[in-house]
Structures are given as C-alpha cells and as structure tokens.
Amino acid sequence: MFSLIVCTVDRNDHLKRLFASLQRQSFRQFEVIVVDQNTDDRLVSLIEPFRAHFPIRHLRSERGLSKARNVGIQAAHTDFLAFPDDDCWYGPDTLSTVYRLFTADPLLDIATGRTLDAQNCPSVSPTGENQCTITRDNFLSCGNSNGIFIKASLLTSIGGFDERLGVGAQTPFQSGEEADILLRAIASGAKLIYFPQLIVHHDQVVAQDNPKRIERAAKYGAGFGALLRKHHFSLRYLGWRIMRPFVGSCLALARLNIREARYKWAWLSGIWRGYWGWQTDETTRSPEALR
C-alpha cells in the first residue's frame, strides 16, 4: 500500500528512532525504501534487526536529496508514496490515519499534514489549524515533505523531484523541492488537501544559537527564490516576500540583535539571488519525468 522513501546520509541514531516508530505502526501494509548516500556500510547493522518487522529495501544513491528520492520513486511499486526524513518519526497511528483519508475520498491525490516536535510544537514550518484545499495561495502553510503522502500514479503523471532543487543539489538552490511537487500537482488539476489531524514528528530544525542558522537561511532562501521564478510568481509577490525579512532585519537591528538581523538578511538576499539565478530555459533542466 505505502512505500516510505527514506533518504539518509551521516545519521544513525535518528534513523533508528524512525524505524522504531515504524515498528509500532497499527497499519502494517507498508515497505521502507532506504536510499543510502553514505560511502560506507554503516547502515547495514542498523537495518538488519528491523527486517523481521517490516520489509526494507536498501538502495544506494549519489549525494542530493532530490536525486535520492527519485531513485526511491523508481524502485517503488505501491499505491502511495511518502518521504519521511531520516530524523523524523511517526506516531503509532500515522499511516492508519493516512489510509483512512485516502479511502474516504478516492479522488484525493495528495494528503499533507503537520510536522510537530516531541512537545507538539510546529518544528519545520508553520501550518494551519483548519483543513483546507491546497492552492498557490496557501501551499507554504500546508506542510513540508515529512507530511506529504501522494498517489504514485500522480508522480508518474507529473514527474519526480526536480534535481536542481533541494539539499545537496549541484546548484545554489538548496530547498523548495517538495513545494515544487505541490505546485506542479496543483497545476495538473490534482486534488490536494491539508489535514491538521495528520501528524509527523520532527525535532526543531535550527536553534536560535546554531552557528549554521544564517548559512542555512541563505541556501534555503535561494531555493525559495528559484521556486518562485520557476512557477512564474509575480514580481509583486517577490517584492512582498523580500519585504518581510527586510522589515524583520530592520526591527532586529533596532533591538541591537545583530545575529537575528543577519539571519533575516540572509533570507532576503538568498531569495533575491535564487529568483534571478534560476535558469528559465527548460531545455537545460535535469531529467525529472519518471514516466
């Protein structure tokens, strides 16, 4: 029924936590496709004990999150796909909730939900409290890749992940790959619904005092800017998205919070560079259609 495509590199303990949560699932019709981007065999001993509890396929891939996910997609032969991070975890009824949602609405193509930390606080991106149809106007508040569950037939139709986007891509555009999937699905006329009762867990992404927070903002901002250009969002919308971190940076400076000001400015400059740096000539894109 479900293929859970887990792309992983340089993580062991977190992956073990995810597998332990899958072992406790009340819904058992799933397989795990591990797409391993490590250069050694560190995962072999971790994976083996769990094979007795659920099917696991262990594949290899070059670095790049979108590239690895496409490897997993090509290997999957089930009805539905999901893309849990190697450092997230499911509650015992996560997959049973997803199954009920798709069973209740045969026309549903994508179900998304919330990503919360262990204290049930939003941890990856802010999301709403009310169920809604996902559109170009609200896609940013309707979940992230951890909470996306998608019909395999839809990905066959619209293609897989754009390998120019996402962490580890051979471009400056280090985010936006899951939002790109949502936007392409919307453009295709698919039915996408956000369900706040559908929950996946993930620790807080970047703490306020993490020295890599500013670097990450610049890279992720570039991915977001490229996403806006790829999907033809207007210059007016670009201006609004840039104005928000600009105002935040000014307010942080007024409070003498230099670190926060630098963080906001990194987002701003990243979005600007990504928007204007995106190659709009579609003949130069990486192959993304998995048909």
Tell me: pLDDT of 275 over 90. yes
Q: Which two tokens stand for residue 266?
A: 């990194």
The C-alpha atoms of residue 268 and residue 142 are separated, in whole angstroms, by 22
Tell me: pLDDT of 285 over 80. no
Tell me: pLDDT of 125 over 90. no
The C-alpha atoms of residue 155 and residue 81 are separated, in whole angstroms, by 9
Residue 168 CB partners (closer than 8 Å, separation 6+): 9, 37, 63, 64, 65, 66, 67, 174
Q: Residue 206 — very low, low, confident or very high, per pLDDT cuts 50/70/90?
A: low
Tell me: pLDDT of 14 over 60. yes
Looking at the chain, the whole-number percentage of residues with pLDDT higher than 90 is: 86
pTM for the structure as a whole: 0.92
Q: What is the pLDDT of residue 119?
A: 92
Tell me: pLDDT of 45 over 50. yes
Domain 2-202: give its CATH architecture.
Answer: Alpha-Beta Complex (3.90)
Q: What is the mean pLDDT of residues 110-128?
A: 91
Q: What is the pLDDT of residue 16?
A: 94
Q: Residue 272 — very low, low, confident or very high, per pLDDT cuts 50/70/90?
A: very high
Helical spans, DSSP H, in 49-188: 65-75, 94-104, 152-158, 177-188
Q: Residue 280 — very low, low, confident or very high, per pLDDT cuts 50/70/90?
A: low
The C-alpha atoms of residue 81 and residue 56 are separated, in whole angstroms, by 14
Q: Residue 11 — very low, low, confident or very high, per pLDDT cuts 50/70/90?
A: confident
Tell me: pLDDT of 87 over 80. yes
Q: What is the pLDDT of residue 290?
A: 40
Q: What is the pLDDT of residue 205?
A: 79
Tell me: pLDDT of 281 over 60. no
The C-alpha atoms of residue 202 and residue 214 are separated, in whole angstroms, by 21
Q: Residue 224 — very low, low, confident or very high, per pLDDT cuts 50/70/90?
A: very high
Q: What is the pLDDT of residue 282?
A: 47
List the domain boundaries for the chain: 2-202, 211-277
Mean pLDDT rounded to a whole number for the chain: 92
Strand partners for 112: 148, 194
